[in-house]
Structure 1
Amino acid sequence: MKQVFILRGLPGSGKSFYAEQLTDELVKGDENQFLICSTDDYFYQEGSYQFDKFKLPEYHSLNLARFIRGLAQEIPLVILDNTNIKKWEFLPYLEVAHAMGYQVKEVIVGDIKDKSLQHLYSQRNSHGVALKTISKMAYMFEW
């Protein structure tokens, strides 16, 4: 069965960890059987994460293209690991996955509205996203 998981959640909520757990559980970590697509990957320059908001549209397009290539190669498990705060952000992924015969599951990782968890997420996210930004993202989250 071909599966796509669309992960949604705040920075630091555990989306990347969840993605790794899925690959271990569903395909035993076999690198030929899964693809994790994260726009964050494109912000790494020489091993260092360097966020540039002006690059977001380009990097989101590159990530979508990588996702589509993975589906075209019929990789059994493809995971979208982005925050996906607004529904329009993951709609193209959802539509192409359905069009290419994949079963799609949307997963919200972590608790979006819990203020104490937002504090935890701001401390443990690996990209230095501030609490103020995380709280704003939580407020804007579309269910």
Structure 2
Amino acid sequence: MKQVFILRGLPGCGKSYYAQTLADDLVAGDEGQYLICATDDYFYNDDREYYFEKFKLPEYHNLNLARFINGLKEGIPLVIVDNTNIKKWEFVAYSAAATALGYQVKEVIVGEVKDKSLQHLYAKRNTHGVALKTISKMAYLFEW
């Protein structure tokens, strides 16, 4: 069965860890059998340093979606979308493409969105320097 998991959650909640653990559990770490698509990947430079440029976000989201669709067309059995996906419109194209290409789609909310104490934890542990104020705003805007 071909599966797509669309992860949703605040920065620092553990989406990337969850994605890798899920892939390891479902396909025993066989890298040819899964693809993790994260827009964050495009913000790393050649030295593997993360450098966020807000104005590049639309371009990088489009590149990530294209990578995702290419993975589906290749028939990769497990494809995971590792983005915050705060609003439903942010992942509808992923879901539609996966369904059209015969994949079972599962939406997974990682972590707790509304818990204020966890938002503080996420702000401390996210690897991209997203401030608590931004994380709290994202939690407020989160669509169920």
- What TM-score, normalized to structure 2? 0.99
Structure 1 counterpart of 2:8: 8
Deviation track 1:94-143 (CA, whole Å, cap 9, x = no partner) reads 00000000000000000000000000000000000000000000000000
Supply the AA of the counterpart residue of 1:127: H
Q: 1:36-115 maps to which residues of 2 (within 5 A)?
A: 36-46=36-46, 47-115=48-116
CA deviation vs aligned residue, 1:43-62 (integer Å, no higher than 9, x gap): 00121100000000000000
One-letter identity of the residue aligned with 2:55: F
SS state at 2:99 partner: helix
d(CA) in 1 for partners of 2:4 and 2:23? 11
What secondary structure sits across from 1:45 in the alignment? coil
What is the Cα deviation at residue 26 of structure 1?
0.2
SS in 1 for 2:107: strand
- Write the letter of the residue equivalent to 1:43: F
The alignment's TM-score, normalised by the length of structure 1, stands at 0.99
Unaligned runs of 5+ in 2: none
Which whole-Å CA distance do the structure 2 matches of 1:79 and 1:23 have between them?
Answer: 8
Matched residues, percent identical?
Answer: 76
Give the secondary-structure state (helix, strand or coil) at the position aligned to 1:84. Answer: coil
Could you tell me how far apart the structure 1 residues matched to 2:79 and 2:120 are? 30
Cα distance, 1:7 vs structure 2: 0.0
What is the distance in 2 between the residues matched to 1:116 and 1:39?
27
Counterpart code for 2:25? E
Equivalent residue letter for 2:33: Q
Mapped to 2, the partners of 1:120 and 1:21 lie a distance apart of 21
| Segments of 4+ moved more than 6 angstroms | none
Alpha-carbon distance between aligned partners in 2 of 1:51 and 1:78, rounded to the nearest angstrom: 24
Indicate whether 1:117 and 2:108 are aligned.
Answer: no
2-structure distance, mates of 1:76, 1:97:
11
2:35 aligns to what?
35
